[in-house]
Chains A and B, each alone.
Chain A
């Protein structure tokens, strides 16, 4: 009997219990998960840390709005029309910037811009985050079900996705919001801003889940063919385990990126809707409404444009940069 090289080596080397042990990276008993590695990469990225810091700052400001109001001393509805000239424009320098009005006053109604921005930020971020979370959850569920189950379920979900994508978002929003408000509130009742916020989030949720669903479905379809999925099946795991323990942990990277890019689009989307009158209406402070109103005053009171304009610019930029950095940090190649 001749020996193949494989057999040669096997025979010469075989002895139970000894194994070549390569040096494993890291120390200690607990290995570093791909998530922890990604986090470490993110920490090293300066752009990510700065933009992340900016976002955290904005969130804190939004959360602490009542506290800031208490310290600042002015509430968002207070009018200071005595500080306006007879055209309704703020007196003094730069649109009324003073020690007690850090960002100046609004023309016409004479309300404090700084505190209105703080509250407006709060509303905008709340809506954008809530919408982001809801649409991501729905999208992930739809995508995972469609991708994993395949067959008719995939076809039905695909059809629903196409339908939602085909519907003109703006027109539906414009039609839906007043109708729904009328349904719940009579002609003499004011529609509280909490209701408007809820309706806005619902409108976004109806349309926004599709991109996450498509993304996740694609990921799941490619994941389905991976051998560890088959291995799990061969081990006899339940479908719930398969979806939540095997599939989901492998797709949270694109989910996270999709979420971080969706949120700024909701910030701007809510601004547009408020401008069109179907979002948040006066007197509730709103970022988008302030920006759109201020554009008319570009020639006569540029400070009014400046502060909210710069803020939304920074906010959206920070979100986008951070989202990109997250995507880079989660690069699958380094998950080998």
Chain B
């Protein structure tokens, strides 16, 4: 009996597999607009910062909006939010000093959120910034939001126990990267960090020792969210943040679910960006990306008003992109996340080798290996096209599939042995193989070394890491070159651990350029950064630009108002509504 059962089972497998294999793949497909540029202004008209936000066409009140994600959001505490999921969710339950008006197509306006304007440069030299807090802004219990609460939120971000969030304000106020030792939050709970003052309940002033013209941009990050000192539960704040936004968190089941419901004390008249259409939001954790995608494709029950926050997995992109009936339920946009093959300049000291790497790289095949046009789009510059003032160029033109011959010429007979460090998960190891095979066509000898997944980032950020090449991603915190080039290539920031300048480049001429451009008014900086980008690539070649991430998301037919944010490249919920 057993052999017969086996044959039957075997035939079932054969049939099942054959059913899917019959069609012919002719290679058609969609791609995103790689060259979409971003334009952005800082609003000067106070009306831009006033609410209510323009109504979303077709939007109706009511319903429950679902967000599916496999891992839970790391931190809900606004001072600790820095992950993309956190940045995506934070506007639901918190408001900030400034925020972006975003049309989802690259047109951005920076406006005041809790502040009446995006900040006043008091002395005109970017060292002193003053914000006036709006009237009528309240917490979820109806208590008013004043400059004191916002200042307290910024002050607690100095606490070394509350790590995870961005560090711009802290470093700028303390004027040193070691801000937590410069001003001890725990010892000074009743006072404010140096440079931060609240002359009255409606006024907040930043005074910096050095000019920081990007302050209005930095103030849009969640670490300017207000908090009443009495509500500060330290590391436990992650469990139940106190809301200042249109929704408040009402239930958290750890690792399973997070429920947000309307905050009746949020006044739309004070908010230029957010809406409050759905009755509630439910973040649901646990299912993997493939399962989520399949649920949303089937579009039944609550999944009809859901979005899969993990995006369409690369293994399914072909099926989803090729399915015409899904087209109006997908979001496809380029993002500002730029991926580069970082070259450790402490080890690879020869410029010609770094240049040869740039000639050898085959971006097209790399993108195929990643999952194709809906996953990645090729990049030849250090800054992504989503940056204000972006100029396209290719310092080492080699065609979409690279030019191994040109690379070999540069190498002049040498076969440099380089070690490429990759994380040990399946996907990254495959990319490692891809890059290795690619570079070896040009004569390089590449050893792929796997690094345990959870420690890969930390290890490659160490100053004396043992690898020559590793792939890094950088998503700027605001779309200005100021938040891309200096953090990544200013050698004066190099420390033992936790570096962002993972090329360990330290070119004093370039460092001087950073200082010069940072001192310019933000509106004029754009083209200067573009020029500097090209100069860095030509003179130093600290990396091989690879690709930008492409956002490809699937949502249910009843999930309306979704768009991919132009600042981070992830779904935004400020306009979300549930169709009836």
Chain B residues contacting A300 (CB-CB under 8 Å) are: 315-316, 318-319
Chain A residues contacting B25 (CB-CB under 8 Å) are: 85, 89-93
- Per the bound structure, the CA–CA distance linking A87 and B364 in Å amounts to 11
Chain A residues contacting B437 (CB-CB under 8 Å) are: 77, 79
Q: Find out whether the CB atom of A95 lies under 8 angstroms from the CB atom of B27.
A: no
Partner of B319, one of A88, A91, A299: A299
Partner of B371, one of A88, A91, A110, A191: A88
Q: Mark A290-315, 1 if CB is under 8 A from B, else 0.
A: 00110011111111011001100110
- Per the bound structure, the CA–CA distance linking A317 and B9 in Å amounts to 11
Partner of B372, one of A87, A188, A301: A87
The verdict on A190 contacting chain B, using a C-beta distance below 8 Å, is: yes
Q: Given that A109-B434, A299-B20, A313-B13 are known contacts, is A187 also in contact with B449, CB under 8 Å in the complex?
A: yes
B window 255-298: CB within 8 A of A: 290, 294
Partner of A86, one of B16, B17, B22, B27: B27
The residue of chain A having its C-beta at the shortest distance from the C-beta of B288 within the complex is A296
Closest Cβ–Cβ distance, residue B316 to chain A (whole Å): 6
The residue of chain A having its C-beta at the shortest distance from the C-beta of B7 within the complex is A317
The verdict on B3 contacting chain A, using a C-beta distance below 8 Å, is: yes
B window 304-327: CB within 8 A of A: 313-319, 321
The verdict on A49 contacting chain B, using a C-beta distance below 8 Å, is: no
Q: Find out whether the CB atom of B21 lies under 8 angstroms from the CB atom of A303.
A: yes
* Segment of A124-132, A218-226, A250-258, A275-283 in the binding face: A275-283
Q: Find out whether the CB atom of B467 lies under 8 angstroms from the CB atom of A187.
A: yes
Chain B residues contacting A282 (CB-CB under 8 Å) are: 426, 429-430, 432-433
Q: Find out whether the CB atom of B448 lies under 8 angstroms from the CB atom of A190.
A: yes
The residue of chain B having its C-beta at the shortest distance from the C-beta of A50 within the complex is B3
Majority secondary structure, B binding face: helix
The verdict on B447 contacting chain A, using a C-beta distance below 8 Å, is: yes
The residue of chain A having its C-beta at the shortest distance from the C-beta of B434 within the complex is A109
Q: Find out whether the CB atom of A306 lies under 8 angstroms from the CB atom of B21.
A: yes
The verdict on A53 contacting chain B, using a C-beta distance below 8 Å, is: no
Q: Find out whether the CB atom of B2 lies under 8 angstroms from the CB atom of A189.
A: no
Q: Find out whether the CB atom of A306 lies under 8 angstroms from the CB atom of B17.
A: yes
The residue of chain A having its C-beta at the shortest distance from the C-beta of B428 within the complex is A282
Partner of A188, one of B2, B430, B447: B447
Closest Cβ–Cβ distance, residue A178 to chain B (whole Å): 6
- Per the bound structure, the CA–CA distance linking A201 and B446 in Å amounts to 28
The verdict on B26 contacting chain A, using a C-beta distance below 8 Å, is: yes
Q: Find out whether the CB atom of A79 lies under 8 angstroms from the CB atom of B365.
A: yes
The residue of chain B having its C-beta at the shortest distance from the C-beta of A283 within the complex is B433
Closest Cβ–Cβ distance, residue A317 to chain B (whole Å): 5
Q: Given that A79-B365, A85-B372, A178-B452 are known contacts, is A109 also in contact with B430, CB under 8 Å in the complex?
A: yes
Chain B residues contacting A302 (CB-CB under 8 Å) are: 16-21
The verdict on B419 contacting chain A, using a C-beta distance below 8 Å, is: yes
Q: Find out whether the CB atom of A88 lies under 8 angstroms from the CB atom of B372.
A: yes
The verdict on A271 contacting chain B, using a C-beta distance below 8 Å, is: no
Q: Find out whether the CB atom of B26 lies under 8 angstroms from the CB atom of A91.
A: yes
Q: Given that A85-B372, A109-B434, A299-B20 are known contacts, is A189 also in contact with B424, CB under 8 Å in the complex?
A: no
Chain A residues contacting B367 (CB-CB under 8 Å) are: 86, 88
Chain B residues contacting A94 (CB-CB under 8 Å) are: 21-22
B window 363-414: CB within 8 A of A: 364-365, 367-374
A window 47-90: CB within 8 A of B: 47, 77, 79, 81, 84-90
- Per the bound structure, the CA–CA distance linking A275 and B424 in Å amounts to 11
The verdict on B42 contacting chain A, using a C-beta distance below 8 Å, is: no
- Per the bound structure, the CA–CA distance linking A317 and B367 in Å amounts to 39
Q: Find out whether the CB atom of A87 lies under 8 angstroms from the CB atom of B321.
A: yes
- Per the bound structure, the CA–CA distance linking A90 and B374 in Å amounts to 16
Q: Find out whether the CB atom of A87 lies under 8 angstroms from the CB atom of B29.
A: yes
Partner of B29, one of A85, A92, A306: A85
Q: Given that A91-B26, A189-B449 are known contacts, is A108 also in contact with B17, CB under 8 Å in the complex?
A: no
Partner of A189, one of B23, B426, B447: B447
Q: Find out whether the CB atom of A87 lies under 8 angstroms from the CB atom of B373.
A: yes
Q: Find out whether the CB atom of A313 lies under 8 angstroms from the CB atom of B318.
A: no
The verdict on A186 contacting chain B, using a C-beta distance below 8 Å, is: yes
Closest Cβ–Cβ distance, residue A326 to chain B (whole Å): 15
Chain A residues contacting B369 (CB-CB under 8 Å) are: 81, 88, 108-109
Closest Cβ–Cβ distance, residue A115 to chain B (whole Å): 15
Q: Find out whether the CB atom of B17 lies under 8 angstroms from the CB atom of A309.
A: yes
The verdict on A321 contacting chain B, using a C-beta distance below 8 Å, is: yes
Chain A residues contacting B6 (CB-CB under 8 Å) are: 317, 321
Q: Mark A171-184, 1 if CB is under 8 A from B, else 0.
A: 00000001000000
- Per the bound structure, the CA–CA distance linking A314 and B6 in Å amounts to 9
Partner of A281, one of B17, B23, B429: B429
Q: Find out whether the CB atom of A314 lies under 8 angstroms from the CB atom of B29.
A: no
The residue of chain A having its C-beta at the shortest distance from the C-beta of B429 within the complex is A282
Q: Find out whether the CB atom of A303 lies under 8 angstroms from the CB atom of B17.
A: yes
The verdict on B31 contacting chain A, using a C-beta distance below 8 Å, is: yes
Chain A residues contacting B373 (CB-CB under 8 Å) are: 86-87
The residue of chain A having its C-beta at the shortest distance from the C-beta of B438 within the complex is A79
Q: Find out whether the CB atom of B466 lies under 8 angstroms from the CB atom of A186.
A: yes
Chain A residues contacting B318 (CB-CB under 8 Å) are: 85, 87-89, 300-301
B window 412-444: CB within 8 A of A: 419, 424-426, 429-430, 432-434, 436-437
Partner of A310, one of B3, B14, B315: B14
- Per the bound structure, the CA–CA distance linking A187 and B470 in Å amounts to 13
Q: Find out whether the CB atom of B10 lies under 8 angstroms from the CB atom of A310.
A: yes
27 chain-A/chain-B pairs, Cβ below 8 angstroms: A77-B437, A79-B437, A86-B27, A86-B367, A87-B373, A88-B368, A88-B369, A88-B371, A93-B22, A93-B24, A94-B22, A107-B315, A109-B434, A110-B368, A189-B447, A190-B448, A282-B433, A283-B436, A297-B315, A300-B316, A301-B20, A302-B18, A306-B21, A309-B13, A310-B10, A310-B13, A314-B10
Please list the 5 inter-chain residue pairs (A to B) with the smallest Cβ-Cβ separation, ordered nearest first. A87-B372, A302-B20, A85-B27, A306-B17, A187-B466
* Sample of 17 more A-B contacts, CB < 8 Å, known A81-B364, A87-B368, A297-B315: A85-B29, A85-B318, A86-B27, A86-B373, A91-B26, A91-B27, A109-B369, A187-B465, A188-B467, A282-B433, A293-B426, A296-B290, A298-B20, A299-B294, A299-B319, A309-B17, A321-B2
